[in-house]
Amino acid sequence: MTMMHSPPHPGEVLKELYLEPLNLTITEAAKGLQIARKTLSMLVNCHAGVSAEMALKLAKAFNTTPESWLNMQQQYSLWESERAVDTSQIRTFSWPHNENEHRA
């Protein structure tokens, strides 16, 4: 499946759907999240991704789920990697076909 447009970086979502509508500065939000201002700035400016720890903090602060933040990050990271990694020379391994054997 090829996506024509990149999925949004979680930092973009954070900025556009949470910080801006709530009139929160990066400094204010960083204090509320109990993280360094630079850490949040890197995320909001798409220079850093969302870790599991950050996902927990964002979920608590903005009444969302950590899974939603991690899923956004995963989709964005995979989209980036699909464009950067050449898999054309990667060998595909296949299981021998045996109708009596089932694999989970």
Q: Residue 76's pLDDT is what?
A: 98
Sketch out the chain's domains with CATH numbers: 10-81 (1.10.260.40)
Burial class (CB in 10 A: 0-12, 13-18, 19+), 89: exposed
Strand locations in the chain, DSSP E?
A: none
Q: Which residues contact 73 (CB under 8 A, 6 or more apart)?
A: 10, 49, 50, 55
Mean pLDDT, the chain, as a whole number?
94
Tens of pLDDT along 9-65? 999 999 999 999 999 999 999 999 999 999 999 999 999 999 999 999 999 999 999
pTM score, whole prediction: 0.83
Q: Residue 11's pLDDT is what?
A: 99
